[in-house]
Structure 1
Amino acid sequence: MNLIAWVILGLLAGAIAKAIYPGTQGGGILATMILGIVGAFLGGSLYSLLATGTLQLTAASLSIPGLVVAVLGSMLAIFLWGLMARHA
């Protein structure tokens, strides 16, 4: 997937995850995009682990199922970021 598609998927997934995730999260558009891209990697990698049984560093594709996986991964990234930020 090219860089522009990654940015679009990251923006969409990050924005949807921030809207769904309870509570308030700080950060602007850049933080949303970074968490969305990290979430796409997390979601894609976890999906490939569950589907194939092997851990591969992949990202979700720019499709409806890929967006769902990326949003779930972004929610996981927001949760993990909240845990790290609370202890810092």
Structure 2
Amino acid sequence: MSLLAWIVLGLVAGFIGSKVVNNTGQGLLVDILLGVVGAVVGGFLFKQFGEPGVSGLNLYSLVVAVIGAVNLLWLYHALICRRWVL
């Protein structure tokens, strides 16, 4: 995937993940960063369970990235913001 595709996927995944975790965004830059890292985390987690990870700019990759972003945002809020979000 190209860098632009990772940024677009990260932006969308970070935005959706922020809305799922705490109903507000963290800001554009943080949403993109956590979304891209979340896509990597989601791809890693899915591969550990025997499923394909992020494969391109498609709906499956978006779901994988959002799951990774939600996990990463939950951890971010638990450790950095000192708030437990369920």
Would the TM-score normalized by the shorter structure come out above 0.5?
yes
1:71 aligned to 66, 80, 86, which one?
66
Q: What percentage of aligned pairs have identical amino acids?
A: 37
Alignment map for 1:49-60 (pairs within 5 Å): 49-51=48-50, 60=54
Instruction: Give the structure-2-normalised TM-score.
Output: 0.82
CA contact (8 A) 1:40 1:74 kept: yes
- CA–CA distance in structure 2, aligned partners of residues 24 and 43 of structure 1: 21
Aligned to 1:35: 34
C-alpha displacement of 1:59: 5.8
CA contact (8 A) 1:42 1:59 kept: no
Give 3-state SS (helix, strand or coil) of 1:51's partner: coil
CA contact (8 A) 2:47 2:53 kept: no
Q: How many residues align?
A: 81
Aligned to 2:4: 4
Aligned to 1:45: 44
The two structures, once aligned, show a CA RMSD in angstroms of 2.1
Most deviating of 14-23 and 61-70: 14-23
> Structure 1: 5+ residue runs without aligned partners?
53-57
CA contact (8 A) 2:15 2:31 kept: yes
Instruction: Give the structure-1-normalised TM-score.
Output: 0.81
